Copies of this chain bind each other. A is one copy, B any other.
Amino acid sequence: MTPAARPGREHLSEAAVLRLSLLLRSLARLEEDGTDTVSSQALAQRFGMNAAQIRKDLANLGEFGVRGLGYRVADLRARLASILGLDRTRVVVVVGAGHLGQALADSGSFNGASFRVAALFDVDERVVGGRSRTGVPILHAGTLPSSVASFGAEIGVIAVPAESAAAAAADLAAAGVKGILNFAPASVGPFASATVKNVDLTLCLESLAVRLSAAG
């Protein structure tokens, strides 16, 4: 019922989400620096964004600014984190305990304030039962359904070869995760019960390579 606490029922484009997420990270840094208030101008200059776009993005979510002054850093960061759902820790599981899967499971990107990797899954008996370098347990893929439930995992990461990606995604969706981050070079989904985001590493490298010849 509070006027500005109405989270964005408006459609947020993928680009907008990325900008807001980056903005949140920037605000955290400003808060560490002890900055109290910041204008859209200052934010834009500091992070190479467009000031008008920052204002528009924020205004879409509610009125957070103070005219003539700017935005209160700590307050805005807290509200933004709440609206984006990044103010709590989500449990993540990783399917595929190969090098990439273990690297992701151990990485700081997947184990910060907002995320915690609870387990890795694999079918290879040689790794099942062990742990990653930071201690994430490697479980058999057959236990995925029950484990997802007991861990309360909301997000599943796919780090298996391309040919197994579709099956891994189906397993994750059936197990009840709400989001799937797929690193295999094969697009999976869609599923009614889960949002899928494909991060095709081969495509990333290829699109860079294309720029080298086609745009050079």
Contacts and interface: CB of A to CB of B under 8 A. Distances in A.
Interface residues of A, number: 60
Given A99-B103, A210-B21, A213-B84, A110 B195 contact: no
A90 B208 CA distance: 11
A197 B204 contact: yes
B133 A207 contact: no
A79 interface: no
29 contacts: A12-B215, A14-B207, A17-B211, A18-B207, A21-B203, A22-B203, A25-B202, A84-B206, A84-B213, A84-B214, A85-B209, A85-B213, A85-B214, A90-B212, A98-B103, A99-B103, A99-B107, A100-B107, A103-B103, A109-B201, A109-B205, A110-B201, A114-B206, A115-B205, A154-B212, A178-B212, A179-B209, A181-B204, A195-B208
